[in-house]
Amino acid sequence: MKSALVVGALVVAVVTAVGVTAVTTVVREDQEQSQARRSNLSCNAALGPITSGPAGSGAGDAARLTEEQRQTVARIIQIGKERNLPPRAWQVAIQAGMTESGLRSLNYGDRDSLGIFQMRPSMGWGTPAQVMDPTYAINKFYDVLEEVPRWEQQRPGESAQDVERSAFPERYHRWEPMAAHLIGKVGLVADPTGCGEGTGRLLPAPTKQAGEAIRFALSQQGKPYQWGALTTHQNSFDCSSLMLQAYREAGITLPRVSRQQFRAGALLPVEQAQPGDLLFWAYDENDPTTIHHVAMYIGDGKIVEAQQTGVPVHIRPVRWGEAELVAQAVRPGV
């Protein structure tokens, strides 16, 4: 019992020494973001990422577009504006069109699929002549998008999937950085989220929930590692169960395993990670299917993790260039 009290005192001490700065930071930034929302009712940052990937990647992809592709982008944006649809709708359409046809009005496709969005006349999208007409196809895409429940509150690629119903739903996320770049440059939207420069540019700021997740994770220090630990108790943890329970405590649901958790939020360059963001390690850093470990960044170059058998939950320093560290971090809940 005496040793348990000592461990508990040490945990409290570490939380006080290491966690206060991180928690204070995320709570302060959440308050700043709330202030931005009050001052600009069109603020949309809380709805999720509008871009991801390394800085500049979207501009590089956009620079490689052909004249035909650029004209399609311009038409998507023009019709979106005419219909008074928000920039997020333009982005959904750009990502869908780039994925389905490379933003070209193709006269061929899988089975009877045609046009920019590979619409199938046999499935009620229109006649072959109609779906080959860019103006018709773009308007039809927007018609269906507007019928998707809560489409404005999803990541753009998820809304594209809801319209297209592809067998490969993850494909649409690939073009997120490029589409975000295009709605800024072609659509002349200086601040696509509507929340100003002070709230993380195109990525939502860390949230109050992140602070709550950090508090929970830090309070579990010293508890044993157990592979496949139950998520219904706090006697022991593996890496992903610690992350799941920390964010569950904050009201955010994460999948059970680390590979799935990589898909459960906004992606950002790992060097830009903020307190509460999740970091991942993979046998092949370029292949998310090989992810085998997850930890929580708490600021000041440190993480909290349940690392391996024989090592209790602990804090350790992290180096951005260390072996197997994936180049993207994840911000849960956005």
Cα angle 130-133-139, degrees, rounded to a multiple of 5: 80
Nearest to 158 by CA among 329, 166, 288: 166
Cα 74 versus chain centre, distance: 26
Out of 29, 100, 212, 305, which one is annotated catalytic?
Answer: 305
293 is catalytic: yes
Out of 43, 100, 176, 239, which one is annotated catalytic?
Answer: 239
Distance CA 51, CA 62 (A): 14
Identify whether the C-beta of residue 225 lies closer than 8 Å to the C-beta of residue 304.
Answer: no
Strand order in the sheet with 328-332: 265-269, 328-332, 278-282, 291-299, 302-305, 314-317
146 is catalytic: no
Out of 164, 173, 181, 293, which one is annotated catalytic?
Answer: 293
239 is catalytic: yes
Strand partners, 304: 296, 315
The residues carrying an active-site annotation are 239, 293, 305
